[in-house]
Chains A and B, each alone.
Chain A
């Protein structure tokens, strides 16, 4: 390594440490403590997961020595565990992919300097070892080390440590490669949004996997299987029979497979397996490095085409009209609706509840008749607001510099709020209509009474949430996005408050529904009463919100235009 490269590496290291230090020192005490507690908690969770994994390795280990089971069987089970850890490890930086100078070094700012891409990539990858999402896995690795050594003996300390170090490095390198790949994809707004939506849908689907397995697997029958050993027991389980060829393939074609091979080599005293596994892991490391350098080079010297793109929006948005509204209100409402539907947060807020309604039906929940139709519909309606709360408590954050226009144009405060409320009402109304159609199509045909109650409870919830939004959006005006872990998010107070208020309104509606059921009162009447009550409340609060807006407008301007 020549003297210039050494100086460059030293400078980069210093830069990273300085940025991390600034990140820490510029936060207030409350933020630091919250973050510290959150990190400690995450580390504890990782430690518990690592201990659990170690325990699984530990407890399955003796079975591999049993000739009727054999090590390969155990390898396949371990592989299942490590594959999940491996995938989560590699993709977890996605949560932090939005650029944050203090936490992730933006290498695009370094390409103008005389530094080789190889050096830059190597160093950037090694810096990932300090990234928060990588550090979450260290307690897990330590717990695994302790668990395996406890069973197999401390004599394996060096070889097991070497293996775990390789395991960490392989994931750090692949994780960096994944981040760079995402950065390439995220250069295109459309790709970025589609990818984010796919990831969110995947997360939701994964969250429902246990429910799906429970729904599809007859555990009573599984419990009745009497088999002399694990191999035969699993052989009678259809899911396992389907998964086994895939797992055998993964054993030889994934880093997790190589790790399991090396691990079983250690615990079953087969040095050749350990060596083969380590060589394979090293191969994965080299592959990630070569691909990473090539990708980094193309990322900064060959950015994707952005100039040629001319079509900026769907013609659908351009054709929207809102007859019957005063011109200024109409223009503002249309502007709001266009912003919602063109932003990732808006699209997500709009489609999440309908998606959940479909998924719940696929899983089979709610269709058994255990829930009264009105309460099921009420639950879905609450979800319409629950999944789009961000929009209701952050009117001005997305406006950014555009907020100045409200101050310059001389539009009355009341009218601005009214326009924001109308836009949100239309947005939520359209979503509720979709949910109602899905409910009717996928669950059961509701009677008129239930539908009217549904509409009434929707209006009541909307008015309650808008009243809350008219106050919270003035008090906590700063921009909010999905990623609350970003350093510019000082706290989650408005979200917590909003959830509490929404829960209270939902509780009141639920209570009213329960009373109506008990008293055999018509549900539509209850819905209508609550809708009227909440609408009156909203109307009475409107002048107060307008005066609050007038009072806070300069503070809001400062908040929404603040640059971090």
Chain B
């Protein structure tokens, strides 16, 4: 995994990002810095504010206050320009299920302004890589959840983005496909593509990510290179031996002792 220079240019920068829903504060004063080419893991328990943050960063939800810079540009000031350089696989995939896989990629490619020939070439490669080429003429409605996920990832890659947002990309994907995805994502980061990933599978995050941020109740608890975050959080254990799971449970699971069912 590539180690970042401390002064490397930033792919994502949020400054005092804040989002409220009525009386409820979903995200509070979030300052994030993601260097270019980083494989960035964004963790938090359910309801911590992960999806809200991703929505704000990708221009799908207006922040209450704060600033968001993607690749040096404010996404809320020039959304179309910035969106052309990013790819998103949201939690809810929102695909057009009455299209075939090939038609969907054609549509997405055109939305990013690619020409017909390039779309055809890239979509064929992507479908082959995702092992969907044999089903490319079938309706997405007939796909399994994992297949839909792979298609959504293919769609997010078709325009060669410099920044990729993946919300739970491995959920519902079988082991073989997960390996293919992991290899692909690692290959992308070696080409200076920044990946911003959320996942509940901590093992995957630990293996893949070189940078990490943990959010809890809307606040950023820790952020930075993976090993330094782990060391900082699990200070009681010998340096270098703390696991992400231990660190994560220590932060977000405090006060939640082991519970048992009274009738079992």
Contacts and interface: CB of A to CB of B under 8 A. Distances in A.
Interface of A: 3-4, 7-8, 10-12, 14-15, 18-19, 22-23, 101-102, 106, 108-116, 300-303, 305-308, 563
Nearest to B95: A109
7 contacts: A4-B112, A8-B110, A12-B111, A18-B98, A113-B108, A114-B84, A306-B21
Contacts of B83: 112-114
A14 B21 contact: no
Nearest to B139: A22
Name which of A3, A101, A112 has the most chain B CB atoms within 10 A of its CB: A112
> Which of A4, A106, A111, A114 is the most central at the interface, judged by chain B CB atoms within 10 Å of its CB?
A114
B58 A15 contact: no
Contacts of B82: 114
B79 A305 contact: no
Contact of A11 (B79, B88, B110): B110
A108 B94 CA distance: 8
Looking at A3, A102, A301, which has the most chain B CB atoms within 10 Å of its CB? A301
Contact of B24 (A301, A303, A305): A305
B35 interface: no
Interface string B91-103: 0001111110001
Contacts of B59: 111-112, 301
Given A112-B83, A301-B60, A301-B61, A11 B111 contact: yes
Contacts of A109: 94-96
Contacts of A10: 110
B172 to A, nearest CB: 16
Contacts of B248: none
A19 B141 CA distance: 13
A26 to B, nearest CB: 8
B23 interface: yes
Nearest to A303: B61
Contacts, number: 90
B113 A3 contact: yes
B137 interface: no
B111 A113 contact: yes
Contacts of A301: 59-62
Contact of A19 (B23, B98, B110): B98
A112 B58 contact: yes
A15 B96 contact: yes
A101 B95 CA distance: 10
Nearest to A23: B98
Closest 9 CB pairs of A and B: A4-B113, A11-B110, A114-B83, A305-B21, A308-B24, A305-B22, A308-B22, A113-B111, A114-B84
B98 A102 contact: yes
B23 A7 contact: no
A461 B113 CA distance: 63
B79 A112 contact: no
A18 B110 CA distance: 15
Interface string B131-162: 00000000101000000000000000000000
Using C-beta atoms within 8 Å of the partner chain, give the interface range for chain B.
35 or more
Contacts of B60: 111-112, 300-301
Given A7-B110, A18-B98, A307-B26, 16 more contacts: A3-B113, A10-B110, A11-B106, A15-B99, A18-B99, A19-B96, A23-B98, A106-B94, A113-B112, A114-B79, A114-B80, A114-B83, A116-B79, A301-B60, A301-B62, A303-B61
Nearest to A105: B96
B81 interface: yes
A286 to B, nearest CB: 23
Interface of B: 21-24, 26, 58-62, 79-84, 88, 90, 94-99, 103, 106-108, 110-115, 139, 141
Q: Point out which of A4, A113, A300, A301 has the most chain B C-beta atoms below 10 A from its C-beta.
A: A113
A22 B82 CA distance: 33
A563 B139 CA distance: 14
A114 B82 CA distance: 8
A101 to B, nearest CB: 6
A123 to B, nearest CB: 12
Contacts of B95: 109
A14 B59 CA distance: 25
B112 A114 contact: yes
Nearest to A113: B111
Given A22-B98, A102-B98, A115 B111 contact: yes
A292 B62 CA distance: 18
Contacts of A11: 106-107, 110-111
A307 B110 contact: no
A112 B95 CA distance: 11
B98 A114 contact: no
Nearest to A300: B60
Contacts of B94: 106, 108-109, 112
A116 B90 CA distance: 20
Contact of A112 (B88, B97, B114): B88
A308 B108 CA distance: 34
Given A8-B110, A15-B107, A112-B88, A302 B62 contact: yes
Given A112-B60, A303-B61, A8 B96 contact: no
A18 B103 contact: yes
Contacts of B103: 18
A302 B83 CA distance: 18
B112 to A, nearest CB: 6
A110 B111 contact: yes
A116 B113 CA distance: 13
Contacts of B139: 22
Given A300-B60, A301-B62, A101 B97 contact: yes
B96 A101 contact: yes
Contact of B80 (A101, A115, A306): A115
Contacts of B112: 4, 113-114
A15 B104 CA distance: 9
A307 B24 contact: yes
A248 to B, nearest CB: 43
Contacts of A307: 21-22, 24, 26
Contacts of A111: 59-60
A12 B59 CA distance: 21
A12 B113 CA distance: 12
A8 B111 contact: yes
Nearest to A109: B94
Contacts of A23: 98
Contacts of A18: 98-99, 103
Contacts of B108: 113
Contacts of B23: 308
A114 B112 CA distance: 6
A302 B56 CA distance: 10
Nearest to B100: A18
Contacts of A12: 111
A114 B163 CA distance: 14
Contacts of B61: 301-303
Contacts of B90: 112
Contacts of A300: 60
Nearest to A110: B111
A108 B95 CA distance: 11
B97 to A, nearest CB: 7
